Structures are given as C-alpha cells and as structure tokens.
Amino acid sequence: MFDKNVFLRDTLRLVTAEIKRFEVDNRVEATDDDLVNILKKMAKQRKDSIQQYADGGRPDLEEVERNELDVLEKYLPQALSGDALKTAIQEIISAGGFSGMQDMGNVMKELRSKHPNAEMSEASSFVKELLS
C-alpha cells in the first residue's frame, strides 16, 4: 500500500477474500494445506482465463490475468515440473514395476502422494509417453 502498487494490493485482497470465504463456508480456520489448495485453485482459474482470453482475442484481459497469476505463483510452493518431474515419474514406474497404460492411474496416484506439488497436467503427458 505504501508503494502505491494498486494491482498488487487488489490481487492480494482477492486472495484474502477467497480465504475468508473458505473459512466462513467451512466454519474452520484455514490450515497451511488449505491455503496452498486455495492458491492452487486460484492459479488454475487464472490459467484457464488466460487461455480463454487468448482464444477470444482479448490481449488486454489476458495480460491482467497473467500478472495476477505471477503474483499468485510467488506465494505457492515451487512445483515439480520439467526434467525433474520426468525423472520422478521414471523412478516411480521402475520402482513399482508399472508397464502399460492400464497402470497410468496407479502411477499418478503414487506421484500425487510422493510429490503433491507436481504439475499434474504436465505429469499426465509424461506418464502417457513413458508407459506407451
């Protein structure tokens, strides 16, 4: 607020409003896991909006959503992605003895339990690639 950064202030107000909504709806105080889940949900919403605005030819709104996503990602734990994610999936496949596409659900379940911050949409494509 002192820096007069209106965009950052408004984005953080959106986050606090979402947290308060969660607490009121569930009548509990949000835990750290709840906060991470709320931030992930908000980030996913921003990613979907970015895609829709890009498809709809609205670069102005796309830029706003992209900036909000950047702010949200600063507060999220570092997600496992890229080569590190592929390596983790390969380890799970070899350790579990998974061999075909019928084991995809088991691999994803194991990945989610071992690496809860993994980028699951990216992981899905890696698992398909490695199991086929």
Least confident stretch, 65-69, 106-110, 119-123: 119-123
Residue 1 has pLDDT above 80, yes or no: no
Mean pLDDT score across all residues of the chain = 90
pLDDT of residue 71: 93
- What is the span of the domain harbouring residue 12? 6-75
In the block, residue with structure tokens 């596409």: 101
Residue 106 has pLDDT above 80, yes or no: yes
Is residue 1 one of the residues assigned to a domain? no
Q: Supply the CATH number for residue 101's domain.
A: 1.10.10
pLDDT of residue 119: 80
Global pTM reads 0.72
For 8-25, what is the mean pLDDT? 95
pLDDT of residue 23: 96
Is residue 125 one of the residues assigned to a domain? yes
Residue 96 has pLDDT above 90, yes or no: no
> If DSSP states are collapsed to H, E and C, what string results for the chain?
CCCCCHHHHHHHHHHHHHHHHHHHHHCCCCCHHHHHHHHHHHHHHHHHHHHHHHHCCCHHHHHHHHHHHHHHHHHCCCCECHHHHHHHHHHHHHHHCCCCHHHHHHHHHHHHHHCCCECHHHHHHHHHHHHC
Residue 108 has pLDDT above 80, yes or no: yes
Residues 64 and 92 in one domain: no
pLDDT of residue 29: 95
Q: Supply the CATH number for residue 20's domain.
A: 1.10.1510.10
